[in-house]
Every structure is written in structure tokens, then in C-alpha cells.
Amino acid sequence: MSTIEQCPAETIDSIVSFLNLRDICNLRLTSRGLALRVSVAPSLGSYLEQRQVDVTERSLRAVAEATAKPGRLGCFIDDLVLVGVVNNTKFLTQEVKYAAEDTGQRAKAQQDLGILTRRQTEYETLHASRGDVLLLSQIFRNLMAHGRRRGLRSLSLAVVVNREDAQTRLPPADGGGWTLIWQAAADTFLTALAAFAASGIAVQRLDVYNGVERCSLACNEPSAVNFEFNTLATSLASLKTLAVSFSDRVINPRTEDFGLTGDSADVWDEHWEDELREPEDIEHELYQDSTFSGLPALIQRCRRLESLELHHYQLEDLIVSELNRHRERFFPYIAEMIPLPPLKRLVLRGLRVRSADVLAFLQRLQPTLRELSLRNLILLDGAKFENIYCIFEEAGLEQLYLDHLLEPVVTASGAYSCRRLVYFTGEPNQEPKLRRKDLPHRGSNTVDRIGAAQIRRPIPYFSVSVPFRERGSRPAFSPNIRAPYPLCLYGQQDYGPP
């Protein structure tokens, strides 16, 4: 009588494809022979190629053990998601404080608050001792020794928030205090790069919060990395794709730190003296070299990079009387990098650019660049599509995508009073994305062209002034901070402020 172990490999793979991961593991436990045959079934890889690991000792240690020996399930990992965990106790602290005594609600809130507080203490101990770096670098070394790729296809960074209780994991968009999210994002990024430096693992794609709403890496954080480490240089040189969401520098505008996080459960004490720092002091911090130099330094180490995606997330305007022109410096620092990686694909989102800088950058990339996407950009000197290099005969672009481009309107004082939204009139079967009574109903906000002949056609357009709209009312706990304006007319989750 034949057994399942004697079935053809195709039959074993078909059986595996109908089972969930727990049942697959149970099937492997039935015999050594079947465990081996299941392990090489192609369908098993679809379950095991992706793995999410929290930056906690328990989660990191579990993956380190799962990758410690050849044949273990962790060795199938190709795509790793490293998740920073925010233990936000603001909401539960208020629940415990104001809930009625001797109620189940208060008891549950108190229990969850204790759990989150303990988790945060455990994380701080792990992080201070560099235990997170040691465990993650061990995972990387295990994958280099035992993994199918001897490295990773991709590493993605993400953040989750525990806030309402100890069980529910919220995305950053629903996670309350944004400064806690930004701190977790910075810690997770620095942990990942430190583990790169300790292991030298090869990774094809690195995603730094590029697809995560209301979460970004502060622009100065990469400056804390020593890119001169040989093993770190080895890891970064293996990258083919880099996607980064970076934000303005996180700065406390007050003379004192009151522990405010931007959470609705933040408490403002009426006895506090809410004194703001001098604009000159804030400006000095904003314009430090570390604000602008870290991201270009990271990109430069990616010598074989073929695809680059950059997304800028705007925080609140800190200097009401100043023009916040520091945001205009991000792109020139990137465009002037020497040398440039051989990019085939470039995506820019949320940046403030000048056409001369874009033109010079594209000219330098002309030998290799094939795909260009510009989205939600502020064109500081106006839309000058006749100068966009992609329409020249010598350009090698095969795909062009333009979406939601804005021109600033500058007052006599030099401040931006409103912005003009660009409408393209030469795109067939296109309608405006933004439906508002005060905006045109003709033209398109998007250009989407494929093929050299289409790309080289002229790009006719017009623009219309769109007044700023304030985002809600001023928070009660920060009476001296101006309510910020969103960059994106479609919503602020992608482009800020938080």
C-alpha cells in the first residue's frame, strides 16, 4: 500500500497549496521523509517568503532561532518587514484617571496600561544595550549562511501603535501621538542600518516607510549613521531599489519639553508657561548641515541603484514670520550628488523643486533613466515643461508620469499666499481628479505617457489659484502654534502635517 510520502512531487505540492501554514507544519511532523518533501514544495515558499518581525526581544529571538540551521522554515525568508512598535500610554492613562472606580472598564484599562508600560521598559532596555542590533544582525548572518538567496530580496520598515489597549495594533494613521511614531521610525531605521553594518547582508530593495501613511523618517536621522563602515558599504552597494519617505526635522518649538506628542490624550497644564523659542534659535537648528546631508550620503553609498523613490512629508511650520525655505534645499543636495547611481527609474513626491535643478539632474541621468514620475511637487519657479528634458530627442525615457503639480504664488513680502494647481489640456480621456466648485472641470491633473513618441509630444497646460485651507482648529494644548496647512489638496495623510 502506497503512502503519501511516495506521491509525486507535484501531488505533494498540490496538497500543500490547499493547507494553511499551521496545517503544513503539522504535516511536516508526521515523518522525516515527508518533512523533507514538504520543505521543497514550491507552494510552501509562498507562505514563508514574507516574514514580519517586531523590534522586540521575543519576536527577534524567534526569527533568529527559525533561521539558525539549514532547512528551518525561517530560511525561506526573502522579504522581511521590520516593525517598530509604539507603546503609547497617553489614552489609557486618561482612561484609568477618569473611569469610575470598581468598574470593569477601569480594571481593563489599568491592566492594559501596565502591559504597555512594561513592554516599553523592556524595549528601552533592549535598545540601550543594543540587543536589538545583535539579534537582527544574527538573523541577517543566518540568512546569509542558510537562506535560499544568501541574503534578502527586500527589507521594509514599518511602525505599528498600541494605544487603545494592549492587543490592538493600529497603523500610524490611527495611532495618536505623532512624535512617538517618528521616534520609533528613527530607532527602527538606525537599528536596521546598524545590523547591516554588523553583517554585510546583501539586500536588493530597501523600503523606508515609503508606503506608510503618517509615518516618515526625520531628514536628519541618516546623518547619525557612519557610512564609512566597509560592511555597511557592502550591504548598501547591493541595493537595486531604494524607497524613502523623509520628513522635516523634528524640532520642539518651546523653551521647555512638556512631553507633548500630538496625541488627543495629551494633557496641558494651565500652570505651564507656554514660551516659544526665538525664531533665530529654531532657524539655526533647522539649517544645520545634518538636516540636508544625511539622505544624499545614504543614496551615494547605493552605487548600483537602479530605482529611487523619494517622498517628502511636511511637518508643521515652526517659524510663522519666516518663509520656511529650508524645504527648498532638500532637492539641490540630492541633485548635486557626485557621483550619481545609474538610475533607470526615478520617483519624486512632495518635494519643492526648481526646473533648472530638475533639468540638470535629468541631464546627468540621461544615459540610464527610462522612467520618470513627478507627483505632488511644488514647482518653485513655475511649470516650465518646455524645458523638461524628457521631451528632447536625445532623451531615452520610456515612461512619464506627472500628477498634482503646484505653482506657488509669492506675495510682496516673499511669503506663499496660495498655490496654483496645474491642469494639462493635451491628455485624451482625462478628467480632473479634484472635484471642487471653485476649480475647473476641464483638463487633467495627470500626464501618463508610455513610449518615446508619446513622451516627446508637447505638454500644454494652464494653472488655477487654489487658496490654502487650514486643517481643523488649533489644538487646545498648544495655543501659540499656528494650525498648519496641508500640502496635498487631496488630503494630508500622505504629505502632512501629521
Domain boundaries, the chain: 1-48
Give the HSE-up count for residue 243: Cα atoms under 13 Å, Cβ half-sphere: 16
Contact 45, 71 (CB under 8 A): no
Give the position of cell 535598545.
127
Classified as helix, coil or strand, 94 is helix
pLDDT number for residue 293: 96
Phi, psi of 244 (to 5 degrees): -130, 130
| pTM of this prediction exceeds 0.75 | yes
Classified as helix, coil or strand, 49 is coil
pLDDT number for residue 11: 86
d(CA 109, CA 96): 6
Classified as helix, coil or strand, 316 is coil
pLDDT number for residue 104: 84
pLDDT number for residue 428: 80
Classified as helix, coil or strand, 448 is strand
DSSP letters spanning 471-497 = -SPPPTT-TTSPPP--S-TT-STTTS-
Contact 404, 490 (CB under 8 A): yes
Classified as helix, coil or strand, 280 is helix
pLDDT number for residue 414: 63
Contact 153, 238 (CB under 8 A): no
pLDDT number for residue 482: 40
Tell whether the torsion through CA atoms of 405, 411, 414 and 416 is positive or negative. negative
pLDDT number for residue 463: 87
DSSP letters spanning 209-270 = STT-TT--EETTGGGGS-TT-HHHHHHHHT-SEEEEEEEPPP---BSS-----S-TT----T
Neighbours of 168 (CB within 10 A): 12
| Closest to 246 (Cα-Cα) out of 131, 128, 334, 129 | 334
d(CA 322, CA 70): 59
Q: Which three cell numbers stand for residue 407?
A: 505653482
Express the helix, strand and coil content of the chain in percent, nearest 5 each: 40, 20, 45
Per-residue pLDDT of the chain (498 residues), as tens digits, is 467 877 888 888 888 888 777 787 788 888 888 888 877 777 777 778 899 999 999 999 999 999 999 988 899 899 999 999 999 999 999 999 888 777 888 999 999 999 999 999 999 999 999 999 999 999 999 999 999 899 999 999 999 999 999 999 999 999 999 999 999 999 999 999 999 999 999 999 999 999 999 999 999 999 999 999 999 999 999 999 999 999 999 999 888 888 899 999 999 887 788 888 888 898 899 999 999 999 999 999 999 999 999 999 999 887 655 566 889 999 999 999 999 999 999 999 999 999 889 988 988 998 999 999 999 998 888 777 655 555 566 678 899 999 999 888 776 666 666 678 888 888 887 778 767 676 777 788 899 999 988 888 888 888 888 765 433 333 333 434 444 444 455 556 788 888
| Closest to 53 (Cα-Cα) out of 41, 42, 39, 67 | 67
pLDDT number for residue 320: 55
d(CA 159, CA 54): 9
DSSP 64: H
Neighbours of 276 (CB within 10 A): 17
**CA 197 to each of CA 15, 24, 299: distance values in angstroms, whole numbers, following the listed order:** 41, 36, 16
pLDDT number for residue 263: 93
User: β-strand 345-349 against 307-313: which pairing, if any?
Assistant: parallel
